[in-house]
Amino acid sequence: KTKEQIKGYTYGEVAPSPFTLNDLELLKKTVLFSSEDEQYLRLAGEVLRDQVDAVLNLWYSFVGSNEHLLRYFTTNGQPDLDYLAAVRDRFGQWIIDLCTRPFDQDWLNYQHEIALRHHSAKKNQTDGVNSVPIINHRYIVAFIYPITATIKSFLGKKEHDTETVEKMYNAWFKAVTLTAVLWTYPYVHTNEF
């Protein structure tokens, strides 16, 4: 699907993030995210581009086989298949965006939008569903590990040497950590983030 065909994908069209680019620089330093990582993220984007569906199949089977996670996609206790499908398209776009978009003001703004979409502030609104009202904060943090660990085998599928795969993997790990941190913003008391 092209970006225009992804329902609810509003990159570049959302409200400004309360978090500043200056603070983002300090956060990048804190996770040791360098310009080399930026290059390896771009490479990861090329490697992952035609594997997005396979990655999503893996992640969705993980969520689907865990009742405590699938819960967040249920309506009246039943998995909401339309909701799962709509989010899947945006999730796929996110994989590519994370690897290819510059971490500029638009990127920061969309991170905040995604944060709100996990939080009670905005969950369910984009897809007009009546699912559970919030994804609990602990799972946002915990997801860093599965979202990172599962990507490695996909990064290794295009015949790059071990060192290159390792560099793409670390760049991905840092980028996922950064985004997960930004997505906790609405869950934290004002001035405590």
Whether the CB-CB separation of 6 and 90 falls below 8 Å is answered with yes
Whether the CB-CB separation of 139 and 148 falls below 8 Å is answered with no
Give the residue with the Cβ less far from ligand HEM, 27 or 69: 69
Give the residue with the Cβ less far from ligand HEM, 31 or 160: 31
CB of 161 to ligand HEM, least distance (A): 27
What is the DSSP secondary structure assignment for residue 143, as one 8-state letter?
Answer: T
CB of 116 to ligand HEM, least distance (A): 8
Q: What is the rounded CA–CA span in Å between residue 70 and residue 110? A: 24
List contacts with ligand HEM (CB under 6 A): 8-9, 63, 69, 72-73, 87, 90-91, 94, 114, 117-118, 123-124, 126-127, 135, 139-140, 143-144, 147, 176, 180
Q: What is the rounded CA–CA span in Å between residue 122 and residue 27? A: 25
CB of 159 to ligand HEM, least distance (A): 27
